[in-house]
Amino acid sequence: MPTGKVPLLAEVYGIEGNIFRFKISEIAPLKPRYEVSDVLIQKPVTKRLTPCTEDTGVLVLKDDSVNLKFHITANPFTIDLISEDEPVLSINSMGQLYFEHLQMPPKHRPSTECKEDVSTDPSQESQDDLGLWQEKFGKFVDIKANGPSSIGIDFSLHGFEHLYGIPQHAETHQLKNTGDTEAYRLYNLDVYGYKLHDKLGIYGSIPYLLAHKLDRTIGIFWLNASETLVEINIQPTIEHTLSPKGSVLAKQKVKPRADVRWMSESGIIDVFILMGPTPAAVFKQYSILTGTQALPPLFSLGYHQCRWNYNDEQDVKDVDAGFDDHDIPYDVIWLDIEHTEGKRYFTWDKKKFPNPKRMQELIKSKKRKIVVISDPHIKVDPMYSLYSQAKEKGYFVKNNKGGDFEGICWPGASSYLDFTNPRVREWYSSLFAFSEYEGSSDILFVWNDMNEPSVFKGPELTMEKNAIHYGNWEHRDLHNVYGFYQQMATAQGLIQRSKGKERPFVLTRSFFAGSQKYGAVWTGDNVSEWGYLKFSIPMLLTLSVAGIPFCGADVGGFIGDPEPELLVRWYQAGAYQPFFRGHATMNTKRREPWLFGEEHTKLIREAIKERYALLPYWYTLFYRAHVTSEPVMRPLWVEFPKELETFSVEDEYMLGSALLIHPITEPKITMVDVFLPGFEEVWYDFRTFVHWEGARTLKVPIALDRIPVFQRGGSVVPMKTALGRSTGWMTHLPYELLVALDTKGSAKGELYLDDGHSFQYLHQKQFLHRKFLFCDGILSSSCADENGHYHSECVVEKVLILGINKQPSSVTTSSSDGQEKQVVFTYCSKTAVLHLEKLSLNVGANWEIHVK
């Protein structure tokens, strides 16, 4: 109990889907404490936990559907979760529960200049001396209107020593012991050129941690948007096993245990325990709470070209033409803050961009898009209609005196829209209407930056914690969810401008749990150094397992000038990561892909083209993320959860379940060790088709023209046989299937297809979902979802079957109407590859290919 014996209410809920919720709050606080809203997609459906008593002083709640029990002890207060008679998780077993109750402010607050002027009340003097009612950060004084209000509790995870999650940090994928070092901090901040190997928070926060061991995966989702610290201590513990009589020690067993302590500045304790037991089950459980990845428009999976800033309309035209001149596909060109009139968002610089609609018409004629930036700070300028409207409506965040909060950002003096207010979000969404946003068109999409929020002369370059938001909540209560709300409003605005017909694309720098519902995320202001390329992999893997599949890192590094080798390697890595954008700050040298000599241009072109060839596979993976919450980019332990060797691997990863990617992240590499997991797996080089058995480390010779990519035996990867200048030019191009046989001579895969941009797949079931199966010498295409109906003229023109050990005598196709046709084929005995071409099999029809 906290000082003063203020009573607390502890609640335990069972939720459908093997999820449990644990809450602690004051029974009668002086005023309501902040509880995070809008992150959960619906009120969780609870189920009954059956109470029973097994021991005096212990309440046992049973969930018979999953054979799980809660053992709740009142004094000392602990909760133990027992699954299949094995302890999985304990709450407050180390007694670190604390809950600072809201109090009346002291009658005499000490002056910040005069330390001698203190309260005569000894207890109050102690509180004030400790800075509990006010805290200095440089020149800033944080006045805490409610006094100290922090909360915390510990969790012990039995048998676990591999923990992941709690992005965003420039750290390893596997979480480390904090020990005597700093705790992992979740506090969204604008950190230019953030440090590597650092547990301090950067742009986004997801208070969600996963623990994995050979026979179980669980998750802890700490629903709190205030500044949060997470301490981790993983250690072996000795487990004593007694004889049946309970007196003689029979044996001792060393078993790992992970102790995790969560601490937040304010709010309540509100925790969801996701009981798995598999990685896929935990991903599904988290999505039940916070939603799945929004299905992105197809163009957003192509390559994006950005810089701070493209100078004017002619610059945009020249860069766009450069891609065509050098035969490099791309889909989106981006405009940073300089495209606006004096950093006034929703405007255009009239000298640099005098005719933005004409510029967009040019880009649209190439079947490409434009993304423009829109930040949350609004220039203080009564002549700026957006500012004057928001000022009149009272839509800005307030300071603790009741006036509009003002800070410094790119436009100079700025006020900040209060996106936590539903009316502000509704109004902001309306600004994207074509009638409101002059010069915009249906190919214009949006980038939310600086939304931590960034305040240049604020404490830690962000908003003061005692600023006031809608509902009279302090900024300290909801800081980490501010950017989440801006992305929500932006995505809704783009949907509304199309009258609900078109999917939005919104990139955000700041994010929270649930941001996946609104678009994409990137890792912020990275540096053009090899270490940042290397760390992009664990950072993106962590985002992926924490519910945000659509993530990426700026190719080439935002800050600095990459050497050509680094830039090539970054393109090769980025081509196999979900969000693929080249970006650079304004004081760097230009780095469009053709500026580094023909040799490097060729290598970058090949990397980007590899991305475009695989777009059918990418799009199918994103559909899977949308409907089943499977990550697109996966650490090896997700695909191979029972192989201990995979648990710490973070220099390679799986793209879906079929492709293994090992980016090159060091200079002048001529040989690299690639780990091929799976005791009964076979892996095929994605380019040469040479195969190896799994459960081995392979030494792979490396040249600058490629990175190691392997296809997993037993998979079918759909690709395009030809490429276009952008995704829009590839709609009707034929498909090829890359069929890689497993040790049993089988393979399976799928293809998802719709119009790539609208919500017709959802509202009118306008989609195709096909499944491919190779078994007993027959490759079949059949419907994976009978609800989908979408007409496509596309054909499967080409099939490669890897792992055919002897030359077939004949190959025939048969369609649903019973017609059979002979297929001309070639067979390479050296690589054991069967090539089938000129098939003309409709992608939406049922058919079979018989290999005899």
Q: List residues with catalytic annotation.
A: 449, 452, 525
Map residue 574 onto helix, strand or coil.
helix
Phi, psi of 268 (to 5 degrees): -125, 170
Give CA separation, 696 vs 397, 507, 675, 835, in Å: 57, 39, 6, 29
* Chain centre to alpha carbon of residue 658: 20
For 471-515, list the strands marked E by DSSP. Answer: 473-474, 506-508
Q: Which residues pair with 219 in a beta bridge?
A: 210, 274
SS3 letters across 513-544:
CCHHHCCEEECCCCECCHHHHHHHHHHHHHHH
Give CA separation, 789 vs 501, 657, 752, 797, 847, in Å: 18, 26, 12, 22, 17
Map residue 497 onto helix, strand or coil.
helix
DSSP H or E segment with residue 320: helix 313-325
Own/partner long-range contacts of 253-256 (Cβ < 8 Å, ≥24 apart): 255/158, 255/159, 256/159, 256/160, 256/161
* Chain centre to alpha carbon of residue 777: 40
Give CA separation, 188 vs 39, 137, 685, in Å: 16, 17, 41
Q: Which of 78, 99, 97 is nearest to 27 (CA)?
A: 99
Question: Cα angle vertex 695, ends 692, 697, to 5°?
Answer: 75
Q: Which of 286, 277, 270 is nearest to 13 (CA)?
A: 270
Residue 309 preceded by cis peptide, ω within 30: yes
| Calpha distance 428→223 (Å, rounded) | 26
SS3 letters across 758-820:
ECHHHHCCCCEEEEEEEECCEEEEEECCCCCCCCCCCEEEEEEEECCCCCCCCEEEEECCCCE
Map residue 739 onto helix, strand or coil.
strand
Q: 783 with 821: CB under 8 angstroms? A: no
Neighbouring C-alpha atoms within 13 Å toward the C-beta of 811: 21
Determine the residue type at 679: F
DSSP state letter for 617: H
As a residue count, the chain comes to: 852
